[in-house]
Structure 1
Amino acid sequence: MSGSRAAAKARTHENLLDAAATVFAERGYGAASVEEIARTAGVSVGSVYAHFTSKEKLFVALMERRSAREFATAQAELVGGFEAAVPALDRQLLAEADSAHLAELGAEAWLHALRSPAFGAELAAHHRRVHDVVTAMVAQERERRGTTLSMSDSEVGTVATALARGLVQYRRLSPETVPDDLFGRTLTALLRGLEAPPPPPASPPASDRAVPGSVDA
């Protein structure tokens, strides 16, 4: 494939994702159709299927793009340590919780995943990829601190991801129960609380211990 053709294909791919974001936001996942997404993007239905073999895969690709952008921002902030990244993490959570279409679309997709095994498998695979990225970020921060945690990196990644999803739901329904900085403060407390205490100093070998009542030569 020539460079110009590859660039045109990449542009169409992004245009389709932009169109899908608009249609899914307006219609919801269930009511959104591939035909409307194609019309919004100004392409044929066949073009949609050439890039994404199903509506499920198109939706997951849209989620992947958003996650990739969020993780890129968080990763850049993590260069300065976890504390420096906390404000960005809080902003990302609030952006989803305070956006009606993002929060509702996420909830609708979760319900559809429970009813559709095929879509459930696609969404589960996406969540595993998100979990792997979060776990790697936990490991990076743990190594930067030079400490060990009383839970595995994977377990901390699971808890952090579940915490974010739960806070989005609570914030959407009862904003007053989720302060703007609650996610970051909770993650900070979690990491500090999981830090294992340093091991006690090793006892000297028995041969090096002074014998009570003895006098050194």
Structure 2
Amino acid sequence: MAGSRAAAKARTHENLLDAATTVFAARGYGAASVEEIARTAGVSVGSVYAHFTTKEKLFVALMERRAQSEFAAAQAELADGFEAAVPALNRQFLAEADSDHLAELGAEAWLYAVRSPAFGVELAEHHRRVQGVVTEMVAAERARRRTSFPMSDDEVGTVATALARGLVQHRRLRPEAVADDLLGRALTALLRGLETPGGTAPGGTAPAGTAPPAE
């Protein structure tokens, strides 16, 4: 019976996330209400709070689920190296940039987070977790290339993430200015430009036995 209860709880959890996706997409973050999400899911308002405590946590859980799915796909592609993963990365980029509700909801959530300290804390924590995964992927790719970067893995991941988010917003306004494969080409150029075999090590320190550059 414990297993049945756990399975039912898991189904309700996923059902609430699906309902939240629908409501947030239709209303935006600010106008979406817990009551409407509960109605859409066919459960009580109390059930929503029992699973997520606050609307902020529900929204972040929704972002976490999407990020986990995307990262699982990206990590599988990256097993064969960054170049092999570029087509998949471009597809993920287009799926967000060309989706009305995904791009707009992301922009609205950022603005709401800036104005609401409570939500800002929740969203910042989500971004830290995402950044951690991106940093791990950067480190794995650097090791695969047997090279070093003049910036830390975390800094490279930050630049790559910011580039992707910026291109999503730019494509929403001027789709003709952002080609379908621009993200992949830009990230490829970024990594190639950063490669410094035998040069500056991650974190900005010179590898052992390497003289510092002349000023």
Q: TM-score, normalised by structure 1?
A: 0.90
Residue 214 of structure 1: aligned partner: none
CA deviation after TM superposition for structure 1 residue 150, in Å = 1.3
Q: Which runs of 5+ in 1 are unaligned?
A: 203-217
What is the distance in 1 between the residues matched to 2:18 and 2:175? 29
1:10 aligns with 2:10: yes
The number of residue pairs the alignment matches comes to 200
Q: Deviations over 1:20-55 (max 9, x none)?
A: 000000011111000000000000000000000000
Residue 73 of structure 2: aligned partner: 73
Structure 1 segment 29-48 matched on structure 2, within 5 A: 29-48=29-48
What is the distance in 2 between the residues matched to 1:144 and 1:10? 38
CA deviation after TM superposition for structure 1 residue 2, in Å = 1.1
Residue 24 of structure 2: aligned partner: 24
What is the distance in 1 between the residues matched to 2:114 and 2:156? 25
Residue 184 of structure 1: aligned partner: 184
Task: Provide runs of 4+ in structure 1 moved above 4 Å.
Answer: none
What is the distance in 1 between the residues matched to 2:182 and 2:152? 23
Residue 120 of structure 1: aligned partner: 120
What is the distance in 2 between the residues matched to 1:135 and 1:158? 8
CA deviation after TM superposition for structure 1 residue 102, in Å = 0.6
Residue 61 of structure 1: aligned partner: 61
Amino acid at match of 1:35: E
What is the distance in 2 between the residues matched to 1:101 and 1:73? 21
Residue 146 of structure 1: aligned partner: 146
Residue 92 of structure 2: aligned partner: 92
- Could you say which structure has the larger radius of gyration? 1
Residue 215 of structure 1: aligned partner: none
CA deviation after TM superposition for structure 1 residue 197, in Å = 3.5
Amino acid at match of 2:52: F
Amino acid at match of 2:194: L
CA deviation after TM superposition for structure 1 residue 151, in Å = 1.1
Residue 103 of structure 1: aligned partner: 103
What is the distance in 1 between the residues matched to 2:32 and 2:189? 41
Is the 2:146–2:197 Cα contact (8 Å) retained in structure 1?
Answer: no
What is the distance in 2 between the residues matched to 1:58 and 1:69? 17
Residue 161 of structure 1: aligned partner: 161
Q: TM-score, normalised by structure 2?
A: 0.91
Q: Which runs of 5+ in 2 are unaligned?
A: 200-208, 210-215
Residue 130 of structure 2: aligned partner: 130
